[in-house]
């Protein structure tokens, strides 16, 4: 997906200003910024709910402005914060909306619906025939994602899809969404105002302000090298700590000179796959100042607080 | 209390179930003119109300038509309908069915139009945005999303129209139409109060029956998903 000099002008006011960036296929690009920064407007120009004033948006090399809007939208998954499930239709009917529009045979729609509900963690036999009003906020949001994925769209647009659920449910939905996205290989354009969500989900993060793209980078680079004071402030003064979420224990230099027997018995056992932030929390809590890194049964070395400190210093 | 007895005796008299003035004939005449007037009113007002509600523009038309409709006294509407029916359909049709029918149509329009407009406007914007974003066309959004969601209010509007029309069709007797108004007008003229009250009672019962019938239909026609939602609120 590619934005080329895309602009949107409302009655003389520029909402989106010469936006240009590319999202590689199968990746998640998160648009993040304060309200009024033009991120939702940019998203809605992709499926032409809003028409750009200038520039072009390409999907797979094809300009969306040359396509018939309804046909275009049926090939693009769309999830919004309020979900917008159809209250008069069952969950199964909601999920089958786009396949029905595309004229799939009934059996295929039924099979796909069942598969999708299972994919988003809703037992089909329990949920298929219920109505949206009978579901919790988190369950409705899962249905929203299933509905957007129904016709196997190569591209998905998501506008603060997890903004209205509580933090615990949000965290779980984010993890499941990442798993599904990797599994399906969908290219995603994702809008949020939450920088933590952007860092967690994005392969690329586009920071927007006043309709302009301020910085477009992978999350680690955004945290390590914010281009200006606005981005630095937006990602937060704790951006070094945030960076630790993106790094794993296995990815840093461990101290291999210490024998395992020499380490305090209080020291936590860490796996190479855990994030540096989790490692830090457990090390601080254990009072041992170090963590023992073990891959299955193999001892790899110890992680020290000064190593973590160096990672933070390097980046900021 | 003698009046009640007289009315009961009137209903018991087999003579009142025979000939052109029979109760069942009058009920059918009454229902026929009311039903046709409501049908035409719905055919005229519903598409306009749905369209205005969908586009969200020209809402003042819906509101003003409703207000004008409420402001015209039914008696005046019937009086006006006599020359109109006479001019349009020939002098022979200037009295009886046609002026009654024509006068009842504007009575059916306002509640249908206003309710349809308000109901479609009131459909959650997130729901229509999601529908549009998934690739439903404007006609599809109106038919598959807005119409079913607006249905409870739309049916309530038609029910109001029907009850109003059934009650007002009584005035048709003043322009030489049949229907249940015949008993009331004739009873008054002949000072036969048992007949008058029997007519009034029949009109009231018919109006209630229409109300109940629509209520039953509404429960059957509205999606269980919407009932669940209303129950939860």
Considering its fold, how many domains does chain A have in total?
A: 2
Name the residue among A70, A95, A59, A68 with its Cα closest to residue A188. Answer: A59
Interface residues from chain B to A (CB-CB < 8 Å): 124, 126-137, 140, 145, 148-149, 223-226, 228-229, 232
A131: distance to nearest CA of chain B, Å?
5
Q: Which residue of A has its CA nearest to B230?
A: A133
Q: What angle do CA A211, A167, A113 make, to 5 degrees?
A: 85
Q: Around B126, how many Cα atoms within 13 Å sit in the side-chain half-sphere?
A: 12
Complex ipTM > 0.85:
no
Q: Around B67, how many Cα atoms within 13 Å sit in the side-chain half-sphere?
A: 6
Q: Which residue of B has its CA nearest to A77?
A: B134
Q: Do A86 and B133 touch (CB under 8 A)?
A: no
Both tokens of A137, joined, read 């906020």
Task: From chain A, pick out residues whose CB is under 8 angstroms from the CB of B140.
Answer: 101
Handedness of CA A76, A81, A82, A85 (dihedral sign): positive
Interface residues from chain A to B (CB-CB < 8 Å): 47, 49, 69-74, 78, 80, 82-90, 97-98, 101, 131-134, 147-148, 157
Looking at the fold, whether A171 and A35 belong to one and the same domain comes out as yes
Phi/psi for B131 (5° steps) reads -65, -45
Domain that holds residue A106: 2-237
Handedness of CA B221, B225, B229, B231 (dihedral sign): positive
Q: Do A84 and B127 touch (CB under 8 A)?
A: yes
Both tokens of A67, joined, read 């396509």
For residue range B42-51, list pLDDT tens digits in order.
Answer: 999 999 999 9
Task: From chain A, pick out residues whose CB is under 8 angstroms from the CB of B127.
Answer: 84-87
**Under a CB-based contact definition with an 8 Å cutoff, are residues A74 and A101 in contact?**
yes
Q: What angle do CA B20, B25, B26 make, to 5 degrees?
A: 95
A225: CB partners within 8 A, 6+ apart: A217
Q: What's the average model confidence in pLDDT over B103-126?
A: 92
Among A194, A219, A237, identify where a domain stops.
A237
Among A186, A212, A237, identify where a domain stops.
A237
Task: From chain B, pick out residues whose CB is under 8 angstroms from the CB of A49.
Answer: 129, 132-133
Both tokens of B39, joined, read 């049908």
Looking at the fold, whether A57 and A17 belong to one and the same domain comes out as yes
Looking at the fold, whether A20 and A107 belong to one and the same domain comes out as yes
Looking at the fold, whether A25 and A130 belong to one and the same domain comes out as yes
Q: What angle do CA A140, A144, A145 make, to 5 degrees?
A: 120
Q: Do B225 and A82 touch (CB under 8 A)?
A: no
Q: Write out the DSSP string of chain A.
A: -EEEEEEEEETTEEEEEEEEEE--TT-EEEEE-STTSSHHHHHHHHTTSS--SEEEEEETTEEGGGS-HHHHHHTEEEEETT----TTS-HHHHHTHHHHHTT--HHHHHHHHHHHHHHTT--HHHHTTS-GGGS-HHHHHHHHHHHHHTT--SEEEEESTTTTS-HHHHHHHHHHHHHHHHHHT-EEEEEES-HHHHHHH-SEEEEEETTEEEEEE-HHHHHH--SSHHHHHHH-TTHHHHHHHH-BGGGS--B-SS-GGGS-TTSPEE-TTSBHHHHHHHHHHHTSSEEEEEETTEEEEEEEHHHHHHHHHHH-
Name the residue among A182, A163, A152, A19 with its Cα closest to residue A83. Answer: A163
User: Where residue A314 falls among pLDDT bands split at 50, 70, 90?
Assistant: low
Buried residues in B92-112 as b, exposed as e (16+ CB within 10 A)? ebbbbbbbbbbbbbbbbbbbb
pLDDT value, residue A252: 86
Q: Which residue has the tokens 């059934």?
A: B166
3-state secondary structure A104-121: CCHHHHHHHHHHHHHHCC
For residue range A253-294, list pLDDT tens digits in order.
Answer: 888 888 888 888 888 989 888 888 889 988 988 888 889 999
CATH number of domain containing A70? 3.40.50.300
Query: Is the pLDDT confidence value at B231 over 70?
Result: no
Q: Do A89 and B225 touch (CB under 8 A)?
A: yes
pLDDT value, residue A153: 94
B146: distance to nearest CA of chain A, Å?
10
Q: Indicate the Cα dihedral angle A255, A257, A258, A261, nearest 10°.
A: 130
State chain B's mean pLDDT as an integer: 90
Tell me how far apart the alpha carbons of residues A49 and A53 are, in angstroms, rounded to a whole number.
13
Name the residue among A186, A141, A160 with its Cα closest to residue A26. Answer: A186
Looking at the fold, whether A295 and A180 belong to one and the same domain comes out as no
Looking at the fold, whether A123 and A181 belong to one and the same domain comes out as yes
Task: From chain B, pick out residues whose CB is under 8 angstroms from the CB of A41.
Answer: none
Task: From chain A, pick out residues whose CB is under 8 angstroms from the CB of B131.
Answer: 84, 86, 97
Tell how far CA A296 is from the center of its chain.
30
Looking at the fold, whether A91 and A222 belong to one and the same domain comes out as yes
Helix (H) / strand (E) containing B100:
helix B97-121
User: Which of A86, A101, A134 minimises the CB distance to B135?
Assistant: A101
Mutation to test the A interface, candidates B133, B145, B222, most A Cβ within 10 Å:
B133
For residue range A36-84, list pLDDT tens digits in order.
Answer: 899 999 999 999 999 999 999 999 999 999 999 999 999 999 999 888 9
Q: Which residue of A has its CA nearest to B126?
A: A84
CATH number of domain containing A273? 3.10.580.10
User: Which of B129, B224, B229 minimises the CB distance to A84?
Assistant: B129
User: Which of A70, A71, A86 minimises the CB distance to B145?
Assistant: A86
pLDDT value, residue B233: 40
Q: Which residue of A has its CA nearest to B229?
A: A133
**Under a CB-based contact definition with an 8 Å cutoff, are residues A42 and A208 in contact?**
yes
Q: Around A10, how many Cα atoms within 13 Å sit in the side-chain half-sphere?
A: 7
pLDDT value, residue B230: 66
**Under a CB-based contact definition with an 8 Å cutoff, are residues A121 and A176 in contact?**
yes
User: Where residue B152 falls among pLDDT bands split at 50, 70, 90?
Assistant: very high
User: Which of B126, B135, B229 minimises the CB distance to A84?
Assistant: B126
Looking at the fold, whether A233 and A252 belong to one and the same domain comes out as no
Looking at the fold, whether A282 and A141 belong to one and the same domain comes out as no
Q: Which residue of B has its CA nearest to A153?
A: B134
Quote the percentage of chain B above a pLDDT of 70. Answer: 97
Among A237, A262, A290, identify where a domain stops.
A237
Burial class (CB in 10 A: 0-12, 13-18, 19+), B220: exposed
Q: Indicate the Cα dihedral angle A230, A231, A234, A236, nearest 10°.
A: -110
Q: Do B130 and A84 touch (CB under 8 A)?
A: yes
Tell me how far apart the alpha carbons of residues A305 and A290 are, in angstroms, rounded to a whole number.
6
Q: Which residue of A has its CA nearest to B138?
A: A70
User: Where residue A132 falls among pLDDT bands split at 50, 70, 90?
Assistant: very high
Task: From chain A, pick out residues whose CB is under 8 angstroms from the CB of B232.
Answer: 133
Looking at the fold, whether A154 and A18 belong to one and the same domain comes out as yes
Tell me how far apart the alpha carbons of residues A17 and B5 are, in angstroms, rounded to a whole number.
85
Domains delineated in chain B: 2-232 (1.10.3720.10)
Q: Do A74 and B135 touch (CB under 8 A)?
A: yes
Looking at the fold, whether A72 and A135 belong to one and the same domain comes out as yes
pTM, whole model, 2 decimals? 0.82
User: Which of A71, A82, A90 minimises the CB distance to B126?
Assistant: A82
Helices (H) and strands (E) in chain B, counts: 11, 0
B137: distance to nearest CA of chain A, Å?
6
Q: Around B186, how many Cα atoms within 13 Å sit in the side-chain half-sphere?
A: 16
User: Which of B128, B130, B226 minimises the CB distance to A78?
Assistant: B130
pLDDT value, residue B232: 45
Looking at the fold, whether A177 and A305 belong to one and the same domain comes out as no
State chain A's mean pLDDT as an integer: 91
Name the residue among B142, B140, B130, B170 with its Cα closest to residue B46. Answer: B142
User: Which of B128, B134, B148 minimises the CB distance to A74?
Assistant: B134
Handedness of CA A166, A171, A173, A174 (dihedral sign): positive
Q: Do A70 and B136 touch (CB under 8 A)?
A: yes
């Amino acid at each position: 997906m590619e934005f080329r000099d895309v602009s949107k002008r409302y009655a003389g006011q520029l909402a989106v200003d010469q936006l240009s960036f590319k999202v590689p296929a199968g990746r998640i690009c998160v648009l993040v910024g304060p309200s009024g920064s033009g991120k939702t407007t940019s998203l809605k120009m992709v499926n032409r709910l809003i028409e750009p004033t200038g520039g072009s948006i390409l999907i797979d090399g094809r300009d969306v402005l040359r396509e018939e809007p309804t046909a275009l939208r049926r090939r693009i998954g769309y999830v919004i914060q309020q979900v917008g499930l159809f209250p008069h239709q069952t969950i199964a009917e909601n999920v089958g909306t786009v396949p029905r529009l595309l004229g799939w045979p009934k059996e295929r729609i039924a099979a796909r619906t069942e598969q999708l509900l299972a994919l988003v963690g809703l037992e089909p036999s329990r949920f298929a025939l219920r109505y949206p009003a009978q579901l919790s906020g988190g369950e409705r949001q899962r249905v929203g994602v299933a509905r957007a994925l129904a016709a196997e769209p190569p591209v998905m647009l998501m506008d603060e899809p997890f903004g209205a659920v509580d933090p615990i449910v949000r965290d779980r939905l984010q993890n499941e969404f990442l798993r599904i996205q990797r599994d399906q290989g969908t290219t995603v354009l994702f809008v949020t105002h939450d920088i933590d969500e952007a860092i967690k989900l994005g392969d690329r993060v586009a920071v927007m302000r006043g309709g302009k793209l301020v910085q477009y980078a992978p999350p680690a680079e955004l945290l390590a090298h914010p281009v200006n004071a606005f981005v630095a402030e937006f990602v937060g003064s704790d951006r070094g700590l945030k960076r630790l979420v993106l790094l794993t224990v296995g990815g840093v230099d461990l101290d291999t000179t210490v024998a395992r027997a020499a380490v305090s018995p209080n020291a936590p056992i860490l796996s190479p796959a855990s994030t540096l932030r989790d490692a830090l929390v457990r090390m601080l809590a254990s009072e041992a100042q170090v963590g023992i890194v073990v891959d299955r049964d193999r001892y790899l070395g110890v992680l020290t607080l000064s190593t973590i400190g160096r990672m933070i210093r390097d980046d900021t | 209390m003698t009046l009640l007895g007289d009315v009961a005796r009137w209903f018991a008299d087999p003579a009142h179930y025979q000939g052109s003035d029979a109760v069942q004939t009058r009920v059918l005449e009454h229902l026929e003119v009311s039903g046709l007037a409501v049908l035409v009113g719905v055919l005229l007002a519903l598409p306009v109300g749905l369209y205005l509600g969908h586009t969200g523009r020209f809402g003042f038309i819906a509101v003003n038509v409703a207000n004008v409709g409420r402001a015209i006294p039914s008696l005046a509407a019937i009086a006006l309908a006599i020359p109109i029916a006479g001019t349009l359909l020939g002098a022979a049709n200037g009295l009886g069915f046609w002026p009654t029918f024509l006068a009842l149509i504007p009575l059916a329009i306002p509640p249908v139009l206003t309710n349809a407009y308000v109901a479609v406007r009131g459909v959650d914007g997130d729901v229509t945005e999601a529908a549009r974003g998934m690739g439903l066309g404007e006609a599809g959004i109106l038919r598959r999303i807005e119409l079913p969601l607006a249905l409870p209010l739309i049916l309530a509007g038609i029910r109001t129209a029907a009850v109003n029309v059934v009650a007002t069709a009584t005035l048709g007797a003043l322009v030489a139409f049949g229907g249940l108004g015949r008993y009331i007008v004739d009873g008054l003229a002949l000072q036969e109060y048992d007949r008058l009250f029997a007519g009034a009672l029949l009109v009231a019962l018919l109006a209630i029956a229409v109300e109940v019938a629509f209520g039953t239909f509404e429960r059957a026609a509205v999606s269980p998903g919407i009932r669940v939602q209303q129950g939860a609120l």
